[in-house]
Structure 1
Amino acid sequence: MPGQVKRIFVWIFWIFVIYAIFTSPDRAADLVMTVWDIIVNGFASIGIFFDRLLGR
């Protein structure tokens, strides 16, 4: 039963993603770019943290 619920939510998620892309592609692209920037900046910040922690 929990596997079926998870599968339903995954389908709902992907249907929403496709709907969002078709109804507003510019906004969907902006959202993806924003999320990508957050991820990249997060990894860069972690790298800076460890560099400074090691005294480089």
Structure 2
Amino acid sequence: MNPKVKKIFLWLLVAFLIYAIIVSPDRAADIVRTVWDILVQAVQSLGRFFDVLINS
């Protein structure tokens, strides 16, 4: 993909995120909290997997 197109998409994404936060900050916070919880769960699961793999 063209670097200029990537830059345009990045700016559109940033503008949309700012718009979403301004319009509905509670909903935006819930989404961020949910994504964070998913990431934490994924890292914990990977940690358990490697722990079991090493200790077997």
Question: What TM-score do you get using the length of structure 1 for normalisation?
Answer: 0.93
Shift of 1:54: 1.4
Gaps in structure 2 of 5+ consecutive residues: none
Q: Deviations over 1:6-39 (max 9, x none)?
A: 0100000000000000000000000000000000
Map residues 1-56 of structure 1 onto 2, 5 A cutoff. 2-55=2-55
Runs of 4+ in 1 over 2 A off after TM superposition: none
Gaps in structure 1 of 5+ consecutive residues: none
Question: What TM-score do you get using the length of structure 2 for normalisation?
Answer: 0.93
1:29 counterpart letter in structure 2: A
Aligned length: 56
Identity among equivalent positions (%) equals: 55
